[in-house]
Structure 1
Amino acid sequence: MRPILNILWIILGGGFIIFLEYLIGGLLLCLTVIGIPFGLQCFKIAGLSLLPFGREILDAPGSSPVGCVLNVFWILVAGIWIFLSHIGLALTLALTIIGIPFAIQHVKLAMLALAPFGKLVRETPG
């Protein structure tokens, strides 16, 4: 079922467009030395945004205080706006029965986009 949902996500849920946005953002951020940690987080979110079904977000063990500081900077500069855009898409998709699974994935992406440092994305068992 996961492959079917992922294919529908790419086509109907906007997954490919979101993937491209995070990928381009990550590439642009990696052009500067200061932007590399933020670009890497964009790549993490891009991977989840392309195929979100069957993946989960976990807290990374041993998160550092540097990650906390970077999360605060991320939230202030871009995180809140990215979070709000995913929540807006989730609310719109939740208006239809078919869109509810896609809305849940947008909420998952919103939580990762709000504070990506110190988070891991892994395949769900089963």
Structure 2
Amino acid sequence: MKTILNVIWLLLCGVWMAIGYAVAGIICFILIITIPFGIASFRMANYALWPFGRTVVRKPTAGAMSLIGNIIWLVVAGIWLAIGHIVTGLAMCLTIIGIPLGIASFKMVPVSLLPLGAQIVSTDSDVGAGGVPVQRPAY
């Protein structure tokens, strides 16, 4: 099911949102000092192309530099990318079949606002909330 949703997402809005992230990443790479933001932007572009089956968790080891970087990102690019996700999510929610796609778009708003200190992981992986490994019982 997640493959079908990913393909529909890719065709309807994934490409456009990924292009937005890629443009932000290219601008960050051109400005040289903002290369860490560019890396985060390209990572989010990848997530925006194929979001179903993946989720975002916060790294517990992210420090003060990621906080400062997130504040700068929020002012420069984050607010615009978040608005793009909100507009896309509202447009998707206009149809019954688009509701899961709209929810996925809303789910990307926090990472578009504060990308540094976030990690995109597969929902099938053994990473729990906060990026802490989950201990599975050995049966």
Aligned to 2:5: 5
Q: What displacement does 1:89 show?
A: 1.5
Which deviates further from its counterpart, 82-91 or 22-31?
22-31
TM-score normalized by structure 2? 0.83
Cα distance in 1, alignment partners of residues 49 and 94 from structure 2: 22
Identical-pair percentage = 36
Which deviates further from its counterpart, 28-37 or 42-51?
28-37
C-alpha RMSD over aligned residues:
1.4
Q: What aligned pairs does 1:1-126 form with structure 2 within 5 A after superposition?
A: 1-12=1-12, 14-125=13-124
Cα distance in 1, alignment partners of residues 18 and 118 from structure 2: 18
The gaps in structure 2 that reach 5 residues or longer are: 126-139
Cα distance in 2, alignment partners of residues 113 and 36 from structure 1: 16
The gaps in structure 1 that reach 5 residues or longer are: none
Cα distance in 1, alignment partners of residues 83 and 8 from structure 2: 23
Q: Secondary structure at the match of 2:67?
A: helix
Q: Secondary structure at the match of 1:30?
A: helix
Count residues with an aligned counterpart. 125
Cα distance in 1, alignment partners of residues 84 and 17 from structure 2: 11
Q: What displacement does 1:25 show?
A: 2.4
Q: Which runs of 4+ in 1 moved over 3 A?
A: none
CA contact (8 A) 2:92 2:98 kept: yes
Deviation by residue 1:78-106 (Cα, 9 ceiling, x = unmatched)? 21222122112211211211111110111
Task: Write the letter of the residue equivalent to 1:8.
Answer: I
TM-score normalized by structure 1? 0.91
| Bigger Rg, which one | 2
Deviation by residue 1:9-35 (Cα, 9 ceiling, x = unmatched)? 1112x1012212212321231123212
